[in-house]
Chain A
Amino acid sequence: MIGIEVHVELDTDSKMFCGCRVSFGDPPNTHVCPVCLALPGSLPVPNRKAVERIIRLGLALNCRVNPGSVFHRKNYYYADLPKNYQISQFDVPVCVDGWLDVESEESRFRVGIERVHMEEDTGKSVHVGEGGRIHSAAETLVDFNRAGTPLVEVVSRPDLQSAADARTYAQELRAVVVETGVSDARMERGSIRFDANVSIRPEGSPKLGMKVEIKNMNSFRSLEKAIRSEIDRQTALVRAGERVVMETRHWDEEGEVTHGMRTKEGSSDYRYFTEPDLVPMVFDGSWVERARSLLPELPALRRDRYRGMGVKPAAARVLASSDPQLRSLFEDAVECGADAVAAGNWVTGEVTASLRRRDASPEDVPLRGHQIADLTRMVGEGRVSAGAAREVLEGVMDGEGSPSEVAAARNLLQLSDRTALEEVVEEVMAANPEAVERYRAGEGKVRGYLVGQVMRATSGRADPRAVNEILSTRL
């Protein structure tokens, strides 16, 4: 059984408890103040927007917003935790008891959300010297720019059955986070991070083994790998007749294994108590209802809607969690009369691939819905071949004009004009009397050669179906 804890840095201008800018990649210790450096006498004041965002996320995860909520101090010492306690939440988090509907190619399932709570991020430590490995570091450099960044922790129930499911859940959760606009959840910046609790149950045994927490996964891939590796490790232990001990393990990205962390006895005694520097939060119904009314359409609902429009499940899944610009491109195309299946395939397929080739972000997609609609119509009507249509798309994206203009200018329109094609067929037959003879003598495979010659003569623009028909009558 697997439960996932996801930390998401909220997208706010200023930090959770002070006015320092939330930044990434700036010179160290340039966004720090008495509060986030824990200078003596400083006090925290919570960022309203961060609280509004956690409520928004909680509602998107079908949670109940507690009518009242308080902050707690979580006490532990670490060099990059300035106060040596983290302001977090304990027994009354902002949101509780939600769920998320998740879907992969293999399965659809619901994952329970136990709680969504508010906390603050730590600073960043860099361990330097002697290979850069943590256990052989000569010293630690600390940058507090990140300290105090608003952080939300989403704790799932242990409802996940496999590493792959865990990954799918994490991806779906990220999509919800992005959709609600609470965070850009950029993996490469560590603005979304995963911990997993893994325990195994030997087949046929009703008893669940000890829970092991694995930390430090920064990508979907490493989340899946880490869980798989941990399941293997625990399985091997049980098979060898050994016991799994309750512990916290660290995922080593390079070695692709988990390591037990050197933990001092009792170091997980966090001594939570109510944060006396802050007052209780009270969320009345109107606050919650306002937040609910502002929720956008979420991926799960959108998937269903797209499916209702006739989009194939796989494409609907991709489309529903794709970037908003791509989704509106799709929706505009359908609005302009495009076939939903075709438009969906175009947007999730060629358009996305082309953007990737161009190294362009979806925000800058140089396409309009009606252009996709035109393109699908041209293919449907046989005016351009599927292959040529890809070239037309490139042309449109290069700003060469509308799809028909590009097709014409690039000479990509399919020759489906019967008379013109018949002429070409006549010419090919005249130029290849031997082949015609052999075909007529019963050598069927020569027909393909003749079709090929017609296509060549038309630079591939001939509609192969029509060519075959004409050949049949002539031969």
Chain B
Amino acid sequence: MPSAPLSIASAGAALRSGETTAVELLAAVMSRAEMTESELHCYLNLDREGAMAAARQADEELDREEDRGPLHGIPVAVKDNMCTRGLETTCSSKILAGYRPPYDATAVARLREAGAVIVGKTNLDEFAMGSSTENSAYGPTRNPWDTGRVPGGSSGGSAAAVAAGSAIAALGSDTGGSIRQPASLCGVVGLKPTYGLVSRYGLVAFASSLDQIGPLTRTVRDAALLLSAVAGHDPADATSYAGPVPDFAGSLDRGVDGLRLGVVKELRGDGYQPEVSQATEQMLNKLAARGAEVMEVSLPLFDVALSAYYLIAPAECSANLARFDGMRYGLSVKGPTASATMSETRAEGFGPEVIRRVLLGTYALSAGYFDAFYGQAQRVRSLLQTEFEEAYRKVDALVSPTSPTTAFRLGERTQDPLTMYRSDICTIPSNLSGHPAVSVPIGLDSLGLPIGFQVMAPALGERLMMAVAAEVERLAGFDAVPPPAMSPPPGAPL
């Protein structure tokens, strides 16, 4: 049996050359999962039967020369806040324990149409609220680079699975950095597309105006391939972009020559782990050496973006999570009245971080406080968008670290919500503006933990953003580095 190739592109080539089959690819990924899951806990649910059936079908189709494209036969993991028909979808919450959706999320349906083999559902911070995957009702996921550390979050399960090789690629969702920050902490590529590019239908909403589904992959090319499979207009999502989807993979070899890259002044300096800052500066020098014009750009509102985010996202979540009330599905703790049933169910079913944000958001929207909190946060958001637009008149893309630090220890920030919230300081602005951003691994710190580099671009600027990201990837030469804390899969190319 061949080993699991590490990228969509290389696995696809092996499939088509007859070197391997979808069933073998799946078996390799599953055996990798068997080996690592007890320690990492990337998955809430491995769909062995469903995945095997899909892999068989993929092989049969390839035998008949029916090729669905780059994802055909590729084992992909899906974050457990995306609905999968008949397959338990919990959002890592007790309140949805045992819940089997009667429909597939659009992104999931598109994965299936593209021939992908869905391996299972990955762990996350409950309802995607968190930056460490410690807020999962089913236990945390651990970082493959150091199992004493967090994988980041909220898509920590997806990031760790790709890093550990228990999936070739994965879908995550990003509301304030939930794809990019774990990608950075796990040493993989994570991309948040322009708001509206990927349908949110079937993604269990955290903050509707910020949520986007995106890829977590080993390479920038893989991110382009996976994004291409799931992006595009969906009539079931009124916020879905109705225009044509660009050819994301078409610009990867463009390089950065002549591009103007803006280093965000507010995302450097104090408060950043020195090794993160150094690695970032080195990458900037290399990009300049490749012909990029690197300049510092100031976006002063980045300093209050975090504050605005922690009003807007909780406000939306307070309404989005109102439907979990023990009436129609999920956990139900029966009380003497319907109202009591709701209150008991919710108090019992939600974890502390979810309750914290629901309370925060309810307060920010409530009579007498709306204008000073939620209303003002939305106005700041609007100004931030203007600030971004002005910056993009001067530069083609903005760059920064993805996370101020590398992976932190389990439990290190759980007692202090504000410190935890600051983990997303670099990623939040792109969610508030709806712009795309990607994290690319560029090296390791002295503890051997991955460092991520973020490229941000204007709305629908994914092609240019990926051109920069691909150059960063080439310059860093990181894509072949395996997780050292884990024993590599037998025979895997290193």
Contact = CB atoms under 8 A, between A and B. Distances in A.
Nearest to B328: A37
B203 interface: yes
25 contacts: A38-B323, A40-B83, A40-B89, A40-B205, A41-B82, A41-B83, A41-B200, A41-B204, A43-B200, A75-B318, A77-B325, A77-B342, A79-B327, A82-B323, A83-B323, A84-B325, A269-B367, A273-B365, A273-B374, A276-B208, A276-B209, A276-B239, A277-B238, A278-B238, A278-B239
A77 B339 contact: yes
Contacts of A44: 238
B384 to A, nearest CB: 16
Contacts of B339: 77
Given A43-B237, A271-B365, A85 B322 contact: yes
Interface residues of B, number: 44
Interface stretch (B19-27, B98-106, B152-160): B98-106
Interface of A: 34, 37-46, 73, 75, 77-79, 82-85, 140, 142, 266, 269, 271-273, 276-279
A79 B339 CA distance: 8
B204 A45 contact: no
Interface in B182-241: 200-205, 207-209, 235-239
Contact of B101 (A41, A79, A84, A85): A41
Contacts of A39: 83, 101-103, 328-329
B203 A41 contact: yes
Interface of B: 82-83, 89, 91, 96, 99, 101-103, 105, 200-205, 207-209, 235-239, 315-316, 318-319, 322-325, 327-329, 338-339, 342, 362, 365-367, 370, 374
Nearest to B235: A45
B323 A40 contact: yes
Nearest to A277: B208
A142 B99 contact: no
Contacts of B208: 276-277
Given A41-B82, A273-B316, 13 more contacts: A39-B83, A40-B96, A40-B205, A45-B237, A82-B323, A82-B327, A84-B322, A84-B323, A271-B319, A273-B365, A273-B374, A276-B207, A276-B209
Contact of B322 (A75, A140, A273, A277): A75
B326 to A, nearest CB: 10
A276 B105 CA distance: 19
Q: Which of B103, B315, B327 has the most CB of A within 10 A?
A: B327
Contact of A277 (B89, B239, B342, B370): B239
Contacts of B239: 43, 276-279
B319 A273 contact: yes
B81 to A, nearest CB: 8
Nearest to B103: A34
A68 to B, nearest CB: 16
Contacts of A273: 315-316, 319, 365, 370, 374
B373 to A, nearest CB: 11
A140 B338 contact: yes
A271 B201 contact: no
The 8 closest A-B pairs by CB, nearest first: A84-B322, A276-B209, A271-B365, A276-B208, A41-B202, A79-B338, A40-B204, A38-B323
B99 A40 contact: yes
Given A40-B89, A77-B325, A84-B325, A45 B83 contact: no
A38 B204 CA distance: 11
Contact of A38 (B203, B328, B342): B328
Contacts of B374: 273
Nearest to A17: B238
A43 B327 contact: no
Contact of B316 (A40, A78, A140, A276): A276
Contacts of A37: 328
A43 B238 contact: yes
A40, A79, A82, A279 pick with most chain B CB within 10 angstroms = A40
A75 B102 contact: no
Given A34-B102, A142-B327, A77 B322 contact: yes
Most A CB contacts (10 A, CB to CB) among B89, B91, B319, B339 go to: B319
Nearest to B341: A79
Contacts of B324: 40
Nearest to A270: B367
A459 to B, nearest CB: 71
Contacts of B370: 271, 273
A70 to B, nearest CB: 12
Nearest to A267: B339
Given A84-B322, A84-B323, A42 B99 contact: no
Contacts of A45: 235-238
A50 to B, nearest CB: 14
A85 B237 contact: no
B91 to A, nearest CB: 7
Contacts of A73: 319
A337 to B, nearest CB: 56
A40 B46 CA distance: 21
Contacts of B362: 271
B332 to A, nearest CB: 12
Contacts of A82: 323, 327-328
Contacts of A34: 101-103
Nearest to B208: A276
A79 B345 CA distance: 13
A75 B103 CA distance: 26
A38 B323 CA distance: 7
A75 B96 contact: no
Nearest to B205: A41
A78 B323 CA distance: 10
A279 B200 CA distance: 14
B201 A42 contact: yes
Nearest to B211: A276
A282 to B, nearest CB: 14
A84 B325 CA distance: 8
Contacts of A40: 83, 89, 91, 96, 99, 101, 204-205, 323-324
B319 to A, nearest CB: 5
A278 B238 CA distance: 6
A37 B83 CA distance: 15
Nearest to B329: A39
A43 B201 contact: yes
